[in-house]
Amino acid sequence: MSGSTIKIIIGPQHPALKEPERFILETEGEYVVDVKVRIGYIHRGIEKAMENRTYLQGLYLSERVCGICSDAHTTCYVQGVEELLGIEPPPRSRFIRVIVAELERIHSHLLWLGIAAHEIGFDTLFMYVWRDREVVMDLLELVSGNRVNYAINTIGGVRRDLNNGRIQKMLKGLKILEDRTKEYLKMIGREQTVLKRTVNIGNLSKSDAIKYGAVGPTARASGVKRDVRVDDPYAAYDEISFNVIVEDGCDCLARIMVRGREVLESIHIIREALKKMPDGEIRVRVKPRIPPAEALSRVEAPRGELLYYIKSNGTDKPERCKIRTPTLANIPSLCKMLVGGYIADVPIVLAGIDPCFACMDRVLIIDKEKRKAEVWTLDMLRRYGREWYQKR
């Protein structure tokens, strides 16, 4: 079969991808020999839209960058804005931020576990995990009032407080989640068909993970101890003791195990946070106008390091807001993982980084001849579109 490769196109519409993205796989027989990625199918112009909105409106927009890690985005955004303002949110609000962030991590990881099971054809596990995920969704609704876009953060603190009744209910729910997650981890470690499809699949060695700048659980499954919660503590993470989960397997099983064990660790963090949470205010009032400054804010989203850069110019609107989502950081590692594997393993490897393409898409025009890359603004895109259609 040497010399004759078949191009298999995965995406933009494909059942293994929940969002549109295109992967062009060069295959020889059942082997993948090369991968090309094309991103940008769901560019929504959020960064540009933020420049036309006030800081408070931008908060709602940042919440909608990602449907799954919406809390991580708002936390990152408000931290940046608070840094620009030079204010500290009250201690109680910082603990509530930790609690919601960890609940979100549990929800995101369980969701991912279900998807991963579905990708290897294990639908029974998928159904069971998603049934139990409802527990954490209910807890999030209990805390914030919403199941998906929690809107718990606000500039200068959080929007809703926790009372004793809610805390008791939450502890009860956490117990269920802990038992179920332990059960699943035990099952996955023993089930032969799962092991056959995940052990030694999509390998990413530790040196490669560092070289390609992997973040989040993808990096931690390759033995790289990289976690913003510890490296650069935000919210109340510096007051809570917890372990960074690291696995040395470097394969898909390690990625499953890292996320499963992180769910257990998150449950531990929430319990600790509930115990240590001080009384007091949950928010401080802030002025709408923000003095000219620059701020860089990082949080550990469920998928890895999320980064916001915000620049203010003295008005009530930001001059520039740049978002770097974890999926974008993991794409180079993903290409490395896919090459040399089977076509049959592409879905699980793709799912292995927990991709969230809607978050990462932006228009980056790369001029091959001039060897330069530039980010287009919404206006430039519009103009380009008009001209392109006129030419036709």
Partner 1 sequence: MVSEALNFVLQLLIFPGFLFIICLAFFSEWVLRKFVARIQNRMGPTYTGYGGVLQPFADFIKLLGKEDIIPAFAEKSFFTLTPLLCLALPLTAIFVLPIADHQALISFEGDLIFLAFTFTMLTIMVFLGGFLSGSIFSMVGGVRAATQLLGYEIPFLLVLFGPAIPASSLSISKISMWQAQNNAWGLWTQPIGFGVLVICLLAELELLPFDIPEAETEIVAGWNVEFTGRRLALVRLGRDVELVLASAILVDLYLGGPQQVWIIPPIVIFLVKMFACLLLIGYLKTLFARFRIDQVLSGMWKYVIPAAMIQFIILKLIW
In the complex, the residues that contact partner 1 under the rule CB under 8 A are 6-9, 14-16, 30, 117-125, 127-128, 131, 191, 193-194, 196-197, 342-347
Cβ distance to partner 1 smaller for residue 12 or 45: 12
Shortest distance in whole angstroms from residue 386 CB to partner 1:
33
Shortest distance in whole angstroms from residue 343 CB to partner 1:
6
Cβ distance to partner 1 smaller for residue 199 or 375: 199
Q: With beta carbons less than 8 A apart as the criterion, state whether 306 and 97 touch.
A: no
Cβ distance to partner 1 smaller for residue 123 or 141: 123
Shortest distance in whole angstroms from residue 344 CB to partner 1:
5
Token pair for 220: 């931690």
Cβ distance to partner 1 smaller for residue 9 or 56: 9
Comparing CA positions, the residue from 20, 174, 205, 194 lying closest to residue 110 is: 174
What's the rounded Cα separation, in Å, for the pair 349 and 203?
9
Cβ distance to partner 1 smaller for residue 87 or 343: 343
Please enumerate in sequence order all residues whose Cβ is within 8 A of that of 32, keeping only pairs 6 or more positions apart, or say none.
Answer: 25, 26, 338, 339, 340, 341, 342, 343, 346
What's the rounded Cα separation, in Å, for the pair 234 and 27?
44
Cβ distance to partner 1 smaller for residue 272 or 345: 345
Could you tell me where the beta strands, DSSP code E, fall in 142-254? 153-154, 157-158
Cβ distance to partner 1 smaller for residue 16 or 335: 16
Distances 108 to 54, 183, 204, 294 between C-alpha atoms, Å? 29, 18, 22, 31
What's the rounded Cα separation, in Å, for the pair 80 and 67?
21
Comparing CA positions, the residue from 185, 182, 165 lying closest to residue 268 is: 182
- Please identify which residue in the block is written with the tokens 């807890």: 139
Shortest distance in whole angstroms from residue 5 CB to partner 1:
12
What's the rounded Cα separation, in Å, for the pair 335 and 323?
22
Q: Tell which phi-psi region holds residue 121, choosing left (phi > 0), alpha (psi between -120 and 50) or beta.
A: left
Shortest distance in whole angstroms from residue 112 CB to partner 1:
14
Shortest distance in whole angstroms from residue 111 CB to partner 1:
16
Shortest distance in whole angstroms from residue 259 CB to partner 1:
17
Cβ distance to partner 1 smaller for residue 195 or 339: 195
- Please identify which residue in the block is written with the tokens 């898409």: 361
Shortest distance in whole angstroms from residue 29 CB to partner 1:
9
